[in-house]
A and B are shown apart, each in its own frame.
Chain A
Amino acid sequence: MTTHDPELQTPSPHEPIEITLARLLRIGSLIAAALIAAGIATMLLGREAVATRLITAGLLALLATPIMRVITAGLIFVRQKDWRFACFCLVVICALAAGILLGQAHA
């Protein structure tokens, strides 16, 4: 390791978005993990009905995390007035929304 850390001299232009997204994903995975762990513990105690609900809640929290990640990235680009990338996020969100509607129609 050199004493002249290049990262300190030329900060990455994408720094803020990466820190925000990392925080969001960490919170999402911690909530999901906590709910699922609590569910498995409850299951071992023999309370199956409660366990099922806790685990399902954890899985839904996990499912929501990547969707929230795209929305958050879109909002960051809007705030940075990077309209091109905000548009890209909108395309992804629309495709996801269409997929969700289609999936429910098929079920």
Chain B
Amino acid sequence: MLVQTLEIFLIAITAGVFGSMLGLGGGIIIVPVLTLLFGVPMRTAVAASTVSIIATSTGAAVAFLQDRLTNTRVAIWLEMGTATGALSGALIAGYLDQRFLYILFGLLLAYSGYNMFKSRKNELPEGVLPDRLSQKLQLQGSYTDRQLGKRIDYQVTGTLPGLIIMYFSGIAAGLLGIGAGIFKVPAMDQIMRIPFKASTATSNFMIGVTAASGAVVYFARGDVKPMITGPVVLGVLLGAVLGAKLMVRLKTSTIRKLFIPIIIYTAFEMIYRGLK
């Protein structure tokens, strides 16, 4: 029992570090580890992973907010999409063909993975003109990049398309029980043209709210097992704090290189599940 708790704790730290740096929840690590290595039932593992997404988001957000990497106005604008999307996802869950959804979301991810690969060398977006809505809502932001050692001012575009994509990412989250950061980051990076670090930090900030709506359901159903979820969450919290401190010191291109394989892996995994 002691050894197992310690092992879960250590793996959870790793999940927290990567989850916070990339703006994902870390469920991509937690779920397979708990089910395959520790023989935890799928429902318990998904419940633990969903709660741990809240831990990643909360633990890392403190550092990102203080570094001004999180764009809170963009986050709140887009949360309207993810929250209503997650609600719709939960409502239609029983009526849709899971397999079709997996293929659809998988193809979508593969496409954004390809786009991200094309722009893999870009450190910062250039020549972005804000649309009218973005100006009206004052979505522009600025942060101090510790790696580049200078202040970055940026504009935001694609405000409405961004919100629509977030609605669908919310549906994906509601249906598949994930934080859906893997859809949020490419949308902010490629459609809204927000600098990559600000995109992952803002996604990280948002996934806590998306996951909270899912976690409530798991709590109510009794799927959250304290003895397993406890060590996972504690490890992820610690890892997320470390990851956030590490991320501000990394180059954007390095973070992209970590993100691209994960997006491609997840795309293939989803398409495979749909075809199986």
Residues of chain A at the chain B interface (Cβ within 8 Å):
1, 6-7, 12-14, 17-19, 21-22, 25-26, 28-29, 32-33, 36-37, 39-40, 43-44, 51-52, 55-56, 58-60, 62-63, 65-67, 69-70, 73, 84-85, 88-89, 91-92, 95-96, 98-100, 102-104, 106-107
Contacts and interface: CB of A to CB of B under 8 A. Distances in A.
B66 A22 contact: yes
Contacts of A104: 216, 220
Interface residues of B, number: 54
B59 A21 contact: no
Nearest to B146: A1
Given A66-B54, A95-B84, A96-B212, 14 more contacts: A21-B72, A29-B58, A29-B62, A32-B237, A40-B5, A40-B231, A59-B226, A62-B233, A63-B54, A67-B212, A89-B76, A95-B87, A96-B83, A106-B221
A91 B144 CA distance: 31
A39 B230 contact: yes
B189 interface: no
Nearest to A96: B213
Contacts of A91: 80, 83-84
B87 A99 contact: yes
B79 A70 contact: yes
Contacts of B57: 66
